[in-house]
Structure 1
């Protein structure tokens, strides 16, 4: 089910609290990103809004960026099993078929999640839209061999892709 959609001009007229309340979930459990973008209103288009939000992350202290990365759930991880994902994450993971893993796929995802977290200290993040389970597993296998600095940048790049998908779902065109 698609979320309620908003007109970009209407969003631009929202109070800070209403804007943050509406867009606070675009970046997983990190309403500070929407708050940082609010100052840059009005937005000419979704690209400008997305850019403002990404720039808020880029300008943030590295510890806050890491907290944003850590706010993301593991793919087919414990939060998914317990039903604790946000509505957006649930929709994204189920859209990629992660709620339909075979026992073998699930075991491999769990092992790769552990290996990745052990290697980098944060969860594996992938904008899963457009991927199937096999593609996601392949990405995990490939990226677990990277260095930490590369994965920090890649994680933020994936978060920016996720945010764009979420904005496209939320804002009318």
Structure 2
């Protein structure tokens, strides 16, 4: 029985030069291609798990200011970017998948009020991996997380970004 001689997608990614690697993976972390650029040096990757782990480690090793900029690069859920149609392709799909594009006017107002309260309290947008969540679960999560202290919430956002990026890698590469 013949085997497929073509290299696996992870082998192909590992073989890319830095610019090509960043071009392919620069959008995995929202508006933050520096994560892919710095992760390139960890090649070759044995699996998508090791690739994701390397990228998350890059995020974790970044300075506090870089981490804050990464959190702030995320759009508010059902916010101005969604209304204006300027979300990234990934964010658009994620928000639609959670039904945020189907909010009633009352739900939209509630979510925007929660977003504003969250941003006022913490200084950055609410970040959550929305895959598998409903808009109601998301609003409940905002309310619950408003009770966190700033450091806990900062760490929660980084953990959620790790979950988001895992889903994005899976969506892009199966």
Same fold (TM over 0.5): yes
Secondary structure at 2:42's aligned position in 1? coil
Equivalent pairs, count: 167
For residue 170 of structure 1, report the CA deviation from its aligned partner: 1.3
Q: Which residue of 2 aligns with 1:115?
A: 117
Which structure has the larger Rg over C-alpha atoms? 2
**Distance in 1 between the 2:153 and 2:42 partners?**
29
Which of residues 8, 27, 42 in structure 1 aligns to 2:44?
42
Residue 82 of structure 1 is matched in structure 2 by 84
Q: 2:57: which partner in 1? A: 55
4+ runs deviating over 3 angstroms: none
- Choose the corresponding residue for 2:70, options 51, 65, 68: 68
CA displacement at 1:51 relative to structure 2: 0.5
RMSD: 0.9
Structure-2 residue corresponding to 1:126: 128
Distance in 2 separating the partners of 1:168 and 1:9: 16
Match of 1:94 among 96, 119, 127: 96
Using the alignment, how far apart are the partners of 2:171 and 2:103 within structure 1? Answer: 25
In structure 2, distance between residues paired with 1:98 and 1:154: 21
Unaligned runs of 5+ in 2: 1-7
Unmatched tracts of structure 1, length 5 or more: 1-5
Q: Which residue of 1 aligns with 2:16?
A: 14
What secondary structure, in the 3-state scheme, does the structure 2 residue paired with 1:39 have? helix
Counterpart for residue 3 of structure 1:
none
Superposed CA deviations along residues 94-114 of structure 1, whole A, max 9, x for unmatched, are 000000001111000000000
